[in-house]
Amino acid sequence: MTPPHASGQGSGKLILFGEHAVVWGASALATSLPAGAVATIARTDALDTHLTLERGGEQLARISPDAHAGPLEQALAVLLSHFTLTSTLDIHVTLNVPPGAGLGSSAALATAIARALCKLDAVTDASHRVTQAVQASEGIFHSSASGIDQAAADGSGLIHFKKGPPIERTILRDIPDISIAICQAAPGASTAMMVQGVAARRACAQERYATIAQMITQIVNEAIVAMRAQDLPRLGELMDFNHGLLCAMGVSTQDLDMACHVARHAGALGAKLTGAGGGGCIYALGDSPAHASAIAEALTQHGFEAFSTTISGAPSF
Ligand code: PMV
């Protein structure tokens, strides 16, 4: 007997170091965020399946799966095709990260729904099924995805990631708490467009980009050492350095640079854009939760949306 309703969770993610270069095979560091998506799914006898998406009490979308409509409708259709469903469904998802801002909202959404569907469908190979379904859904949103969003969406905590093939994903458990502020500096840009833009620039300057990839791999390795040693000044310096390389790749913007400057002016030990760039978010390093919260406050006073949080080697749920 399968249950009439079920729920599931997915984590948002923050790329700490190595975005873009991860697409060409360099290593990257990402973490699951405590915030993400929560799905509740009930069987219905309505004619169609519906997904209602909300954030902060505001309805963002109400759609049905459709392989020929927009990305959300297509992603839902692809996701549901991985399950044997015997009725229509009422799917309700609460997002706790801003959508389309580089914080992994689409992978969190897909993971939350897939996990709930596994319970509803009494799936025996749940972990494999979630991986397959989320991968297919992410393929709709980010055609050239490295897979790093999905790797962080299961809530495993801090991960050292390499695209492969085969994917190398090492969970780093031995990392003490790190206090950060996350700030959405501008609406997010299309990841696929940003990745394509970098690919075009890289094709014209292959040696330079090979050097950037080596530098980023080195930054990632040094960041792991700095995190383990709680060497926050060193970690902040590495963030600033990685931000500089992302500027050199042409993916930062005036808003993202401004947010980094505001954070550093408020005492952040380092700041960098996170995700695809072209808009979206930055994160900044504090030396304590109170410091990170003061940095978030300074960013908010400047007109940006910001919050503080703690990351660590612990799983987020
Ligand atoms: O902004 P996001 O969350 O879509 O992050 C994209 C990260 C990239 O490295 C630019 C692309 C990828 O697939 O890894």
- Write out pLDDT tens, residues 188-212: 998 889 999 999 999 999 999 999 9
Is any ligand 1 atom within 6 A of the Cβ of residue 195? yes
| Structure token digits, residue 47 | 């004619």
Q: Above 80 in pLDDT, residue 139?
A: yes
Atom of ligand 1 nearest to the CA of 198: 10
Q: What is the pLDDT of residues 32-82, one digit of tens each?
A: 998 899 999 999 999 999 999 999 999 999 999 999 999 999 999 999 999
Among 19, 190, 252, which residue has the most ligand 1 atoms within 8 Å of its CB, making it the best to mutate? 19
Report the DSSP beta bridge partners of residue 52.
62, 92
Among 149, 256, 273, 274, which residue has the most ligand 1 atoms within 8 Å of its CB, making it the best to mutate? 149
Q: Closest residue (by CA) to atom 13 of ligand 1?
A: 145
| Structure token digits, residue 242 | 């990685």
- The pLDDT assigned to 316 comes to 66
Q: Where are the alpha helices (DSSP H) in the chain?
A: 71-80, 105-120, 126-141, 148-153, 191-203, 206-228, 232-248, 254-265, 289-301
Is any ligand 1 atom within 6 A of the Cβ of residue 286? no
* Cα 105 to middle of ligand 1, angstroms: 12
Report the DSSP beta bridge partners of residue 8.
39
Query: 68 burial class (0-12, 13-18, 19+ CB within 10 angstroms)?
Result: exposed
Percentage of residues of the chain with pLDDT beyond 70: 98
d(CA 258, CA 103): 19
* Cα 280 to middle of ligand 1, angstroms: 11
